[in-house]
Amino acid sequence: MSLLPSSVQPFVGTPLDDLRPLAYTLWKTDFLSQATSRDLAEFYSTKDYVPQGNRIDALNISKMYLELDQVEHSELYVVDPTLSETDREARLAEIKAHTTAIQREVIAREATKKLAHQRSAAHTFLVSAI
């Protein structure tokens, strides 16, 4: 029974054996090739690596949260048509501040969660290879 999370496929390749002179070279080639195909290689070669796509993915998730908020709290998005232009602009600024706060919170949470999952996958894959 494997101790690897189901989303992480284990390393399959040349075993790391210090008794064989070329073992490390073969292992490293196999390991980096498989890590690259799993989008994990940068975690091993770049200090504090954070994939660029994480924030974009988190932004897309935040848009779903905004839609849900607009349905569940529709009263927060109402702009009284009788407001003066100044009051209307102030109300729109309040709505914008509310939506921005939601997006910032969701983006921070989701990007952090995704990065933690990716780092865990990179760690698990490395452990499976040694």
Q: What is the mean pLDDT of each run of 10 residues along the chain (130 residues)?
A: 61 77 86 94 95 95 97 96 97 98 97 96 93
Query: Is the overall model pTM greater than 0.95, yes or no?
Result: no
Q: Where are the domains of the chain?
A: 23-129
Distance CA 72, CA 52 (A): 32
Q: How far apart are CA 56 and CA 40, in angstroms?
A: 18
What pLDDT digit, counting tens, does each position of 3-15 carry?
A: 445 578 888 887 7
In tens, the pLDDT along 67-81 reads 999 999 999 999 999
Separation of alpha carbons 77 and 92, rounded Å = 9
Mean model confidence pLDDT for the chain: 91
Helix residue spans in the chain (DSSP H): 23-37, 41-45, 53-72, 85-129
Give the whole-angstrom CA distance, residue 34 versus residue 43. Answer: 13
